[in-house]
Amino acid sequence: MKKLPYAKRVAVVLLVLMTTIFLEGCNEEKAEALLSASQTFKNEAKKAISAYEELLMAGLDSPSLSEKEAVADIVARGNSFLSQGKEITFKGVTRGLQDPFKSAKAEVKALVQRQNLLYDAFTDSLINLPRGSYLAEEHVQCAEEIARRLVINIGNYRKAFEDHTVSLIVPEEDAVYELENALKSGSESEKNDTARKIYNLSKKKQELNNKVITQASIAAETGLKVIKAADSYDKLSTEDLLKLVRQALTIAGTLEGLDTAKAVSRLDKAVTDAKGDAHWQQILSLEVYSEGTKCNPVRKTEKSGTKE
């Protein structure tokens, strides 16, 4: 066979190299687009987690004792120890000055930390994915599975909103106790002040509840964009993926001003979409990273009984 002239061979090699570099550049842009969508998802999810923390902490808010009340409490506790023939200790007489909900608040903080770590781990795993050309198919499928699980995780907040509100238990009980005392022996001014306090507390409760469920809806719908990007990764162009990223950034605006019930409906739909068809529902019913999931697939060689 006749060889191409040297100049033409060089031209062909250069064309192949240029094409490869161009494709790798485009595919790296696709990988970055998927990562960008995932980071937007993480940011919105963290806002939902933060709003949920704010709501739970507000429900554990209890006013600290005034100096006069604290002194009276210490004296009362001291007298109680004496009357029972017990030794008076510093810890014992100051017990009433401590936050009675310290343990519950610590549990909320721990819950929030665990939730945040889920979304951090998701984007961190994508940052470390290979970039050379296309992301490996198994990596993209795993990313899609984790995104689906994380959207469903956000949907778990929905369980706390069956009646569309989560109560601010401690402040509400304190306010009702104050109202009861004011109605029994307080002046008209005290009665009105306490009633106004309950009204403002009711407004705050509704605002905090709506903030959580709206932000959860934003996060869940943003997660759907990640799922779509991963599901169609090989089929979509770089521009298509970037369009999904832009859409993810505008979701928040579509939920502004919605009441809680409508936001709940949007969240429910997003979770249903994330659960997918029967194929995905079977995978999502398994423990994450267990055999048979997209992040730990059963390989053909393993099915046939031979090991790789």
Residue-level pLDDT at 69:
67
Locate the domains of the chain by residue range. 40-62+101-296, 65-98
Q: What's the pLDDT band for 306 if we cut at 50, 70, 90? A: very low
Report the Cα–Cα distance between both ends of the chain, in Å, rounded.
Answer: 41
Residues paired with residue 82 on neighbouring β-strands, in sequence order = none
Residue-level pLDDT at 160:
64
pTM reported for the whole predicted model: 0.74
Query: In sequence order, which residues have a C-beta less than 8 Å from that of residue 89 and are 6 or more positions away?
Result: none
For residue range 219-260, list pLDDT tens digits in order.
Answer: 999 999 999 988 888 887 888 888 888 888 788 777 777 777
Question: Measured between alpha carbons, how far is residue 291 from residues 108, 139, 297, 298 in Å?
Answer: 32, 15, 6, 6
Q: What's the pLDDT band for 210 if we cut at 50, 70, 90? A: confident
For residue range 119-166, list pLDDT tens digits in order.
Answer: 998 888 777 665 544 446 778 888 889 999 999 999 887 766 655 566
The amino acid that residue 254 corresponds to is T
